[in-house]
A and B are shown apart, each in its own frame.
Chain A
Amino acid sequence: MAFDRTLFDTEFLQKLGYLSLVSKRLHRGRARGEHLTYRKGSSLEFFDYRSYEPGDDFRYIDWSIFNRLDRLVVKLFAAEEDLSIHLLVDTSLSMDFGEPKKIDYARKVAAALGYIGITSLDRVGVSVFSSELNEFLPPHRGRNQLFSLFDALSKIRPGGRTSLSRSLGKYSLQSRQSGLVIVISDLFDPEGYESAIQALLHKRYDVVLLQILNEQELSPTEKGELKLVDAETGESERFSVDSECLLRYQETLMSFFKEIEQFCLKRGVEYLRIITSTPFEDLILKYLRQGMHLH
């Protein structure tokens, strides 16, 4: 299967190999494919009790409790599944911005995480979204999936507006395999990101939020009488930008980040803010060192 080698060149692939090795060393001792989920299943690991209901398997009735309490309860066991990694990449027009472009950086990050996941025998799928959920590669295991993943990522073309709530909500309804969802986006959605994350959490996904930004967004330098045009919507706002205005912009941006951090902290969402000037392998290593998901 062929994919765009200008995006995923040899050097990039070498780095992926290196990252894979590093990740294995960091998580040595854990069995492959042994990712417990909190779904009820048939493993030997006890998970919980619940009252007996007609139709339940008699084999799981806890008779000792029945003897002591004269109540019928059945034992529940945690399901033992392979980890499914869902890479959700924002391809709205706002991602086609900066040097390097955020979309390219997101592509590399997604490829790296997917590569690590596949080499860890996890199921890895990728979807791209803007205002709608577009490409959808279901999670699968195996080397062929790696090629499919790279192919899907190389075909990404930025376009459309960002609508996290609609696209991620749709994904949460569409996907049948829970697992780890890694959302790679700049989170610049006028409707907000909160409802989208809530929808994923509601479907019991573990959510990792990677916010990708570039230097121009963090520290704009243009001054004067500006007509700022939204790359996604074409809407514009008039500003008289001076140093004071830029300072206030920074304050507003920091406040935005703070809100995201608070939101994620309250809901157990892992959040990482990335600047495109940071080498992606440094990001991956940082990601792994911080003990974030993948294993």
Chain B
Amino acid sequence: MEKPLFLLLLLLIPLLVWLHSLRGRRREVAVPSLVIWRRLLRNSGRSLRFRRFLRNLALLLQILVVVALTLALTDPFLLKRSAPYPPHIILIMDTTASMKTKLGSGSRFEEAKRMAVRAVNELPEATRVTVISAGSKPALVAPYSDDKNRVGGLIQQLEATDAAGYLREAVFLGLSFANREETTEIWLFSDGADDSPKDLELNETGVRLFQAGRQARNTGITKFQFRRRLDRPELYEILVQLTSYHAVVDEVPLELLVGGRSIYRETIYLEPFDERILIVPYEGLRADRAVVELKKTDDFSVDDRGYVVLTGSREIQVLLVGPGNYFLESVLSAFPNLHLTVKEHYTSGAEYDIIVFDRVSSPPLDFGNFILIDTLAPNLPWEIGGYLDNPVVSSWQKSHPVLRHLTLDDLAIRRIKRITGVKENQILCRAGNHPVMAVYEQQNIRVLYLGFNLLESDFPLRVSFPILIGNVLAWLSPGALASPTNQIRAGETFSFPIREGIRQISVVKPNGDVDQIEAPENPIHYSNTSTVGFYSVLGAAALDQFAVNLLSKSESDIQPRYQPPARGDGGRSEEPGFAGRTKNYLWPVLVVVALLLVPAEWFLWMRKW
């Protein structure tokens, strides 16, 4: 029953009875004697009582009509399984951050788990269940199991993450498990705060949504950045964006802390569904933690705090060894977080991230990132076999990170070194059969080779030149140029370089859990970032901490976007707690009953007595 207020219409029944009593008031008729009438009662009493009942039947039918119409207005329904259970159920649990929204005394995710376990327990013995968790990336939890207790236990162990996600990928993963030869249903337990259910057109894809969510209030942090000022790169500023996701004016006290010390406080007023951006200049230490916090309570707490690591002092150390190259020095100096050191002779390079050898002999290279310009290292498996004058660039790998977004057409070069021993996949750019540019990568070494003197070509004068240098720096030191902060969104993979020789590092998560990483690759790609907060990297890594935030406008919008069809959907929409069953609305039956009763009542009412 969805609209119980309509039950008040039952108060019409006393009115009907009263009206009936007015109509049925008996006329007094004097008779000489009741002797015969009483004999009649004795002989035919039962028949007369039945006729009296018929007389009152009109009232009874009127009451039934009122009751039927009132019940129809209250929208009563019966729960019914519309079709037999299929042999295979793919159960998708939405573990995205919005599932952490408060719902009653628990959360949406707890409600979804309760519904899912109940639904699994109601399944027949032979039905197999596949469980998929749908967080930032879909993951298989239990494949093809008919052990309902085990499946229920695995569902109970699931936890909602702080990450944004897209249910679409999880549904596609689920569909990939569907066996074409048997009927499969996909049960999606979600709050519907995602566009995916709507996009998927549930009725057509055979996906059944079990919705565990209702309207809720949220104001959250959707951007939090520590960045250089564009006008004065030596200065920094902190940017905070707040977004309201409900239809009331909100008053949000905000506090910004760096290193645990409050540096800014303000109360922000937000109109319904409003966005506000706050920029706070910062001139302090650039190796600390910053936290922005909303001092309020709403239904969704994940986006009430933002985290950022201030890493403004982190710069790429570059050593340029050579007789001097104006163009090269100018380009390298242009990068804001790059520190360039120029030397004529190479002595030591351990403290440099990148070493450039320009037209000077290179020592044997065993560890690090190098750029060799018109020279070769003696330990590289390549040999110089003379020179080629006026080479014409015939092709280059446009998709390689080093050559991305630039062109080498009509590049004028006086001559290039002829080198041999270069493998085909190492050549980036060639003139005929001769490499013009090549890369060399081994376990601890990464080298870019340019086979010509920059000063004997027009390359430094071309737009492609600074692009090439930028690409090379990014390729040799990934991420170093992108941002002065170490910050990602929850669920994303964070990549960071480590120093050579390190065999084990530890990552301490915000909740205190520690992930041990043995024999790491360089760089490390760390993806266990489902919780917002600060992550500490231990073990002599080049990086010591990074921050994880939600910072997702779509995930902070916790209002369910998908409204299941109200009725008559043939069993594809579900209500919380009614797993596997559909609502059969009774109002059409009640209306038909009322329509049938009305002529019967009319007949009795109009009958001449």
Give the B-binding residues of A (Cβ under 8 A). 93-95, 97-98, 102, 162, 186, 188-190, 217, 220, 222-233, 235-242, 244-245, 248-249, 252-253, 255-256
- CA distance in complex: A245, B37 (Å): 10
Given contacts A225-B26, A240-B52, whether A94 and B37 have CB atoms under 8 Å apart is no
Closest residue on chain B to residue A190 by CB atoms: B35
- CA distance in complex: A225, B24 (Å): 7
User: Is B40's CB under 8 angstroms from A94's CB?
Assistant: no
User: Is A252's CB under 8 angstroms from B40's CB?
Assistant: yes
Contacts of A186 in B (CB 8 A): 32-33
User: Is B32's CB under 8 angstroms from A238's CB?
Assistant: no
Within 8 A of A (CB), among B21-77: 24-41, 43-44, 47-48, 51-52, 55
User: Is B32's CB under 8 angstroms from A94's CB?
Assistant: yes
B326 at interface by CB-CB < 8 Å: no
Please, could you name 26 A-B residue pairs with CB atoms under 8 Å apart, sorted by A? A190-B33, A220-B31, A222-B27, A222-B29, A225-B24, A225-B609, A226-B26, A227-B29, A228-B30, A228-B37, A230-B32, A230-B33, A231-B30, A231-B31, A232-B33, A233-B34, A236-B34, A237-B38, A237-B41, A240-B609, A242-B608, A248-B44, A248-B47, A249-B36, A252-B36, A256-B35
- CA distance in complex: A239, B41 (Å): 9
User: Is A228's CB under 8 angstroms from B31's CB?
Assistant: yes
**A242 in complex: contacting residue of B29, B34, B44, B51, CB < 8 Å:** B51
- CA distance in complex: A244, B43 (Å): 14
- CA distance in complex: A241, B40 (Å): 12
Closest residue on chain A to residue B23 by CB atoms: A225
- CA distance in complex: A24, B30 (Å): 43
Given contacts A162-B33, A223-B608, A248-B44, whether A240 and B39 have CB atoms under 8 Å apart is no
**B51 in complex: contacting residue of A97, A224, A228, A244, CB < 8 Å:** A244
User: Is B51's CB under 8 angstroms from A240's CB?
Assistant: yes
- CA distance in complex: A288, B154 (Å): 113
- CA distance in complex: A224, B32 (Å): 19
Closest Cβ of chain A to B109, distance in Å, is 66
Contacts of A253 in B (CB 8 A): 36
- CA distance in complex: A255, B43 (Å): 11
Contacts of B51 in A (CB 8 A): 240, 242, 244-245
Closest Cβ of chain A to B399, distance in Å, is 98
Give the A-binding residues of B (Cβ under 8 A). 24-41, 43-44, 47-48, 51-52, 55, 608-609
**B34 in complex: contacting residue of A220, A223, A225, A235, CB < 8 Å:** A235
Query: 8 more A-B contacts (CB under 8 A) besides A222-B29, A225-B26?
Result: A186-B32, A186-B33, A190-B33, A225-B27, A245-B40, A249-B37, A256-B36, A256-B39
- CA distance in complex: A249, B31 (Å): 13
- CA distance in complex: A130, B308 (Å): 116
Closest Cβ of chain B to A218, distance in Å, is 10
Closest Cβ of chain B to A230, distance in Å, is 4
Closest 9 CB pairs of A and B: A188-B33, A94-B32, A97-B32, A227-B26, A225-B26, A230-B34, A252-B40, A224-B609, A188-B35
User: Is A227's CB under 8 angstroms from B28's CB?
Assistant: yes
**A245 in complex: contacting residue of B26, B30, B48, CB < 8 Å:** B48
Closest Cβ of chain A to B458, distance in Å, is 117
Which applies to chain A's interface (DSSP): helix, strand, loop or mixed? Answer: mixed
Contacts of B32 in A (CB 8 A): 93-95, 97-98, 102, 186, 188, 217, 230-232
Closest Cβ of chain B to A34, distance in Å, is 41
**A241 in complex: contacting residue of B36, B38, B41, B609, CB < 8 Å:** B609
Closest Cβ of chain B to A98, distance in Å, is 8
- CA distance in complex: A242, B32 (Å): 20
Contacts of B35 in A (CB 8 A): 188-190, 256
- CA distance in complex: A291, B35 (Å): 31
User: Is A239's CB under 8 angstroms from B36's CB?
Assistant: no
- CA distance in complex: A227, B30 (Å): 8
- CA distance in complex: A243, B144 (Å): 76
Closest Cβ of chain B to A237, distance in Å, is 6
User: Is B48's CB under 8 angstroms from A249's CB?
Assistant: no
- CA distance in complex: A242, B43 (Å): 17
Contacts of A241 in B (CB 8 A): 609
User: Is A240's CB under 8 angstroms from B55's CB?
Assistant: yes
User: Is B28's CB under 8 angstroms from A229's CB?
Assistant: yes
Contacts of B31 in A (CB 8 A): 217, 220, 228-231
- CA distance in complex: A94, B31 (Å): 8
User: Is B55's CB under 8 angstroms from A225's CB?
Assistant: yes
- CA distance in complex: A249, B40 (Å): 6
User: Is A237's CB under 8 angstroms from B609's CB?
Assistant: no
- CA distance in complex: A63, B32 (Å): 63
Contacts of A244 in B (CB 8 A): 47, 51
Contacts of A188 in B (CB 8 A): 32-33, 35-36
Contacts of B40 in A (CB 8 A): 245, 248-249, 252
Contacts of B29 in A (CB 8 A): 222, 226-229
Closest Cβ of chain A to B25, distance in Å, is 7
User: Is B34's CB under 8 angstroms from A228's CB?
Assistant: yes
User: Is B39's CB under 8 angstroms from A94's CB?
Assistant: no
Closest Cβ of chain B to A190, distance in Å, is 6
Given contacts A224-B609, A226-B27, whether A252 and B39 have CB atoms under 8 Å apart is yes
Contacts of A225 in B (CB 8 A): 24-27, 55, 609
**A239 in complex: contacting residue of B30, B33, B43, B48, CB < 8 Å:** B48
- CA distance in complex: A188, B31 (Å): 11
Given contacts A224-B609, A226-B26, A244-B51, whether A237 and B33 have CB atoms under 8 Å apart is no
Q: Which of A230, A232, A238 has the most CB of B within 10 A?
A: A230
Closest residue on chain B to residue A233 by CB atoms: B34
- CA distance in complex: A140, B509 (Å): 137
Closest residue on chain A to residue B49 by CB atoms: A240
Closest Cβ of chain A to B606, distance in Å, is 14
